[in-house]
């Protein structure tokens, strides 16, 4: 192939994984701007609330077993933009306060491979109260190699056997994004699947995201005696695949399992894994599976093999929780690998309540439908779905135009609920570089509701964030808010700002005529 190079690799050692690492290290938090890397489905208030419920149930179980003095550490792998950590902490603190005393204290550690992300988290204003309160810390963590956690804020290190409580591990979109083995089962035998990669000669000049898109992958099978050795740790699982599967490609999470084992070593009493991914725990879903196709979104992702993780830890006595139904968008599961796991009744009940009965997967499916039909929603349905999603900012942004239309028929109590909902939404909103302006939409809705004090608060936040792109409607709304609140001088100031954008704005000129005395001082 003219102008190209090609080479064969073991799948887990192919350059795609180094390009993946390079992408996240170069982009930092920018990788998640405007969903370049998808994050909403695993970082919204609904899934954060479900995780907080699970964690509270676990804390209650530990307290019931007499283990309430030592802190429970929560480690999030690949915390990315930081939105999930913030929302989990926001909800968990509220649940802790509702539950009262008696449960163990907790500490949350956000980890990632990219040092730039850790530095950005440490400066994010939304996270500072949790750091100062001793609830949050940060660590750079390489899931393929590291066996300790160096805490950036505390300046201490968590090493082998340091923790007395089981470690809680949160792993969203994690197992599908670290190196995996690729196996093939055919005629009752196991094969290693190598990947032949072809790429342009100018590959070195491309950014990682562009380089990934220029790769061409082909797969070839070869026998690998390692998997059939009696001392191979996962021999029973390989035998099961050979017995139950045919003409099937299997992504095997060798690096993921090794990572869990290293993290387990930090605690004297195992771990609770809470994980969400595009992954299958049902063996039948791997039958006749084709070779993987890379799904590109700046980086790339694959399907996680939850079946292997579930099988391995159940054989070691762990309790695993996965939905009995088939998932559509995202699979949320738990692995409790601790002494007497069946004794964790609160944890099991929380999973049933917040995941299996109606959880993040069902919510996302419903949200997709709602987004397509939002122009047909009436106010009771709009408000109900907003509450169901934990006063989700993304739904509010998408539905603000429809809400504006519905305000004309809203009862006083509904207007009160909207105003309170905006406050709740803002309290759990994690600011990122996005294409939308939540403060602006919230302020304009409140202005339409004649809630001038609240509207002024949010509109001024919007102006402060990006004064260069402010449109005349914002200054007009701010001027009216100020006049209604008796803040005439500030009202004149905003009116003059409006006239700088639109010198012939009739309503602004009329407003100034009534305040000649105030205006003359400028």
Domain CATH code at residue 443 = 1.25.40.10
The mean pLDDT value for 60-75 works out to 97
Query: What is the model's pLDDT at position 180?
Result: 93
**418 and 319 in a common domain:** no
472-500 pLDDT, tens digit per residue, is: 899 999 999 999 999 999 999 999 999 99
User: Quick one: pLDDT band at residue 29, thresholds 50, 70, 90?
Assistant: low
Residue-number span of the structural domain to which 288 is assigned = 20-178+257-357
The mean pLDDT value for 431-444 works out to 86
Percentage above 70 pLDDT, the chain? 93
Is the pLDDT at 521 greater than 60, yes or no?
A: no
Residue 199 in domain: no
Rg (CA), the chain: 27
Query: What is the model's pLDDT at position 510?
Result: 87
User: Quick one: pLDDT band at residue 91, thresholds 50, 70, 90?
Assistant: very high
Is the pLDDT at 517 greater than 80, yes or no?
A: no
Tell me which of 357, 378, 394 is where a domain ends.
Answer: 357
**382 and 278 in a common domain:** no
Tell me which of 357, 381, 408 is where a domain ends.
Answer: 357
**341 and 387 in a common domain:** no
Is the pLDDT at 36 greater than 60, yes or no?
A: no
Tell me which of 298, 327, 357 is where a domain ends.
Answer: 357
Kindly report the average pLDDT of the chain as a whole number: 91
Total domains present in the chain = 2
66: alpha, beta or left? (left if phi > 0; alpha if psi -120 to 50): left
Residue 236 in domain: no
Query: What is the model's pLDDT at position 17?
Result: 84
Query: What is the model's pLDDT at position 522?
Result: 46
Residue 11 in domain: no
Query: What is the model's pLDDT at position 301?
Result: 74
3-state per-residue secondary structure call for 209-261: HHHHHCCEEEEEEEECHHHHCCCCCCHHHHHHHHHHCCCEEEEECHHHHHHHH
CA distance 325 to 282: 10
**389 and 274 in a common domain:** no
CA distance 384 to 1: 58
* CB distance 153 to 138 below 8 Å: yes
Residue 187 in domain: no
194-203 pLDDT, tens digit per residue, is: 988 887 766 6
The mean pLDDT value for 273-295 works out to 91
Is the pLDDT at 427 greater than 90, yes or no?
A: yes
> For residues 462 and 214, which has the higher predicted lDDT (pLDDT)?
462
User: Quick one: pLDDT band at residue 372, thresholds 50, 70, 90?
Assistant: very high
298-342 pLDDT, tens digit per residue, is: 567 788 999 999 999 999 999 999 999 889 999 999 999 999 999
Q: Could you tell me where the DSSP H helices lie in 100-135?
A: 115-123, 128-132
Is the pLDDT at 28 greater than 80, yes or no?
A: no
């Amino acid at each position: 192939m003219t102008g190209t190079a090609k080479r064969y690799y073991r799948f887990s050692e192919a350059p795609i994984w180094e390009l993946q690492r390079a992408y996240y290290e170069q982009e930092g938090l920018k990788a998640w701007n405007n969903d370049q890397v998808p994050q909403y489905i695993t970082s919204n208030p609904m899934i954060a609330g479900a995780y907080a419920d699970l964690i509270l149930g676990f804390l209650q179980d530990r307290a019931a077993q007499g283990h309430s003095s030592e802190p429970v550490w929560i480690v999030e792998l690949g915390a990315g933009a930081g939105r999930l950590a913030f929302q989990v902490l926001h909800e968990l603190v509220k649940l802790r306060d509702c539950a009262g005393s008696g449960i163990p204290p907790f500490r949350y550690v956000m980890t990632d491979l990219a040092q730039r992300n850790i530095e950005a988290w440490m400066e994010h204003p939304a996270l500072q109260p949790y750091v100062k309160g001793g609830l949050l810390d940060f660590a750079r963590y390489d899931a393929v190699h590291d066996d300790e956690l160096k805490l950036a804020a505390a300046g201490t290190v968590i090493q082998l056997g340091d923790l007395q409580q089981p470690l809680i591990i949160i792993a969203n979109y994690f197992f599908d994004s670290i190196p995996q083995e690729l196996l093939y089962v055919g005629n009752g035998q196991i094969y290693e699947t190598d990947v032949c990669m072809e790429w342009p000669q100018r590959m070195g000049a491309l950014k990682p995201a562009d380089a990934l898109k220029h790769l061409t992958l082909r797969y070839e099978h070869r026998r690998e005696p390692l998997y059939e050795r009696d001392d191979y740790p996962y021999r029973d699982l390989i035998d099961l695949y050979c017995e139950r599967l045919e003409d099937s490609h299997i992504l095997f999470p060798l690096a993921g399992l090794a990572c869990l084992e290293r993290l387990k070593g930090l605690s004297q009493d195992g771990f609770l894994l809470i994980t969400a991914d595009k992954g299958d725990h049902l063996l039948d879903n791997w039958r006749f599976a084709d070779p993987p196709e890379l799904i590109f979104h700046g980086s790339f992702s694959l399907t996680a093999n939850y079946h292997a993780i579930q099988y391995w830890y159940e054989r070691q006595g762990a309790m695993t929780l996965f939905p009995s139904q088939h998932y559509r968008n995202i699979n949320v599961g738990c692995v409790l690998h601790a002494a007497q796991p069946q004794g964790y009744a609160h944890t099991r009940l929380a999973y049933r309540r917040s995941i299996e009965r109606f959880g993040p997967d069902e919510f996302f499916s419903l949200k997709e439908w709602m987004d397509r039909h939002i122009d047909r929603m009436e106010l009771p349905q709009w408000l109900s779905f907003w509450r169901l999603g934990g006063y989700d900012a993304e739904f509010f942004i998408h539905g603000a135009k429809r809400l504006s239309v519905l305000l004309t028929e809203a009862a006083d109590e509904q207007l009160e609920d909207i105003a309170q909902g905006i406050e709740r939404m803002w309290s759990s909103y994690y600011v990122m570089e996005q294409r939308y302006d939540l403060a602006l939409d919230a302020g304009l809705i409140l202005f339409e509701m004649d809630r001038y004090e609240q509207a002024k608060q949010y509109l001024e936040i919007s102006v402060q964030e990006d004064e260069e792109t402010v449109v005349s409607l914002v200054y007009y709304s701010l001027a009216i808010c100020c006049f209604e609140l008796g803040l005439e001088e500030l009202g004149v100031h905003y009116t003059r700002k409006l006239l700088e954008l639109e010198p012939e704005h009739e309503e602004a000129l009329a407003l100034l005529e009534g305040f000649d005395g105030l205006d003359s001082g400028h």
